[in-house]
Structures are given as C-alpha cells and as structure tokens.
C-alpha cells in the first residue's frame, strides 16, 4: 500500500524498467502484458520519462494488450490502439511490429481464429514476463466479467452493464459504448510469470476488499488471483481503505 497513486506508479515503472534491462543484458526480449484505462497512465508517464531522461530503451520489448472493444476502428478516439499510442508507444522506441493489441476490426467469423493466434503468439515469444492489470468495479480483470472461467483464453465477451456505464463518459453516453470486447482470458493472465494489479481511489475500495478478502468465485473474477503465487496488488491508501 502506497501513500498515493504517484509514488505507487513510479515504483511499478521501476519494476518494469528492471525487467526490460535484465532481459536486455541477456540479449533477450522482455514480453509485457499491458492494460489501458485511467489506472496505468502514470506508470506509462514514468516509463516515458525513464526513456527520455535516463536512456531506457524499448527496442527489445514486445507487448500484448489485454483487450479492445468490439467493434472498434483503431483511429476512433476510444480505441485502445489510440490510447496506447498516445499514452506510451508514440513516445518510446518500441518497434511497431512488437506491439500486439486485439483487433476490433475483424469480421465476426474471424475472431475465434485471431484469438487462438494471439495466445500462440504470446507462447512463441516465450510467455509474458509481467502482466499489468487494473480492476473494474464488477471485479473484471481485462474484460473478464463475472461468469468468466478461471481457465478462459482470449475470446469475444459481452461487457457488463456496470462496465458500460463506467465507460459512458468516454463515449458520450452508455448507448454508444460497444456491448462486446475481445479480451485475454483469466487463464492467459495466469500464465504470466508476474502479475501486478493496481488500483487507486476510494471508488475502487469495495471491489478491492472483495478481490483480496472475499470468497473465490466467478462472480468476482479478480478473486481468482488469490490462487496465484506470483501476483501483487499495488494500491494507494484510498483503494486499500476497506481492507481489514
Ligand atoms: C483495460 C482493462 C480493464 C481496466 C479496468 C479499470 O485494459 O482491461 O480491466 O483495467 O476497467 O479501468 P480504469 O483504470 O479506467 O479504472
């Protein structure tokens, strides 16, 4: 538990930089699973600073984003492609071909195949060294909403009504929020060698309490993380304020 979002985000960025450098020293790629949304923004800001001011290179970094709305064009304002470009990728030296984000433009019949290949690609490059997560108020990680299976893989899912309500500001009304998304599964996330879940503010306190102290159940998918040995929750004091 950290005093605030800033100090926690700097710490997470340092952890990421350490993984990148360690792999660099061995002449290997670092494979990162990334999240979008408000939560990781300051982590990405600090990574950009480390790149610009301290010479951290992303040349050996391969990224896989957790999710994308479906349908979604990459140049739309709410696309996670645009989010990642603006908040991280455009400001560092990551090779474009190393960036992977679920494709919101696919024809429906091509989604299942795309999802299988997404999983295969993660495996081919050696698996995720680190997966960064936020948490939704439904308890979703990625877009694995209540009802998701613990061994689920990358797939097309239906967004929970609360998730769509929370996204409504970005879309100018809930009716404009897509009803579906393509997301890595809980099983995909679990294969990462390290997992960091971050949460800030009082708004996240009730779901953090459930995720950390509640009964393990598909109705709060983040509770599955209690079964993982390599997961860390990084919180500010507000998000941790309901923990006993
Ligand atoms: C985003 C994602 C989601 C968000 C969650 C929290 O790629 O997978 O699980 O992490 O909805 O969103 P924010 O950070 O906006 O509160």
For the CA of 65, the closest atom of ligand 1 is: 7
Q: How far apart are CA 122 and CA 185, in angstroms?
A: 13
Domain count, the chain: 1
Helices 80-87 and 41-54 sit at what angle, rounded to 10 degrees?
Answer: 40
Quote ipTM for the complex: 0.99
Instruction: Supply φ then ψ for residue 4, to 5 degrees.
Output: -150, 170
Residue 241 covered by a domain: no
The verdict on residue 97 lying in a domain is yes
Has residue 42 been placed in a domain?
yes
Q: Please report the atom of ligand 1 found closest to the CA of residue 183.
A: 8
Atom 8 of ligand 1, nearest CA residue: 142
Structure tokens at 68: 């994308």
Report the CATH number at residue 183.
3.40.50.1360
Could you tell me where the beta strands, DSSP code E, fall in 38-129?
61-65, 67-70, 99-100
Residue 137 lies in a domain: yes
Cβ proximity of 189 and 150 under 8 Å: no
Average pLDDT, the chain: 98
Average pLDDT over residues 165-191: 98
Nearest CA to ligand 1 atom 3: 142
Share of the chain above pLDDT 70, in %: 100
**How do beta strands 30-34 and 61-65 pair?**
parallel
Q: Which domain holds residue 12?
A: 5-235
Judge whether 242 lies within some domain: no
Return d(Cα 22, Cα 24) in angstroms, integer: 5
Does some domain include residue 110?
yes
Could you tell me the pTM of the whole model?
A: 0.98
Q: Whose CA is nearest to atom 15 of ligand 1?
A: 37
Q: What angle do CA 97, 44, 136 make, to 5 degrees?
A: 100
Q: Which residues are marked as active site?
A: 145
How many CB atoms lie under 10 A from the CB of residue 103? 18
Give the Cα separation of 228 and 195 in Å (integer).
9
Closest ligand 1 atom to Cα of 163? 11
- Per-residue pLDDT tens over the stretch 28-76: 999 999 999 999 999 999 999 999 999 999 999 999 999 999 999 999 9
Ligand 1 — pocket residues by CB below 6 A?
35-39, 66-67, 134-136, 140-143
Q: Is 85 a domain residue? A: yes
């Amino acid at each position: 538990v950290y005093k605030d979002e800033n100090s926690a985000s700097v710490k997470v960025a340092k952890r990421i930089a350490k993984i990148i450098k360690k792999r660099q020293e061995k002449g290997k790629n670092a494979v990162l699973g990334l999240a979008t949304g408000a939560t990781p923004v300051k982590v990405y800001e600090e990574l950009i600073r480390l790149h610009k001011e301290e010479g951290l290179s992303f040349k050996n970094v391969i990224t896989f984003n957790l999710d994308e709305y479906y349908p979604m064009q990459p140049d739309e304002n709410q696309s996670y492609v645009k989010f990642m470009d603006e908040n991280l990728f455009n400001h560092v030296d990551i090779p474009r071909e190393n960036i992977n984000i679920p494709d919101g433009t696919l024809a429906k019949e091509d989604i299942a195949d795309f999802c299988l290949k997404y999983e295969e690609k993660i495996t081919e490059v050696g698996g995720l060294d680190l997966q960064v997560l936020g948490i939704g108020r439904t308890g979703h990680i990625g877009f694995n909403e209540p009802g998701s299976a613990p061994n689920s893989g990358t797939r097309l899912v239906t967004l929970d009504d609360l998730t769509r309500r929370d996204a409504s500001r970005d879309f100018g009304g809930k009716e404009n929020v897509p009803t579906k998304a393509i997301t890595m599964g809980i099983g995909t996330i679990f294969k990462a060698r390290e997992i960091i879940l971050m949460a800030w503010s009082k708004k996240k306190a009730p779901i953090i309490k459930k995720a950390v102290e509640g009964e393990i159940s598909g109705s709060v998918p983040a509770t599955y993380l209690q079964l993982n040995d390599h997961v860390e929750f990084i919180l500010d004091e507000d998000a941790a304020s309901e923990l006993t």
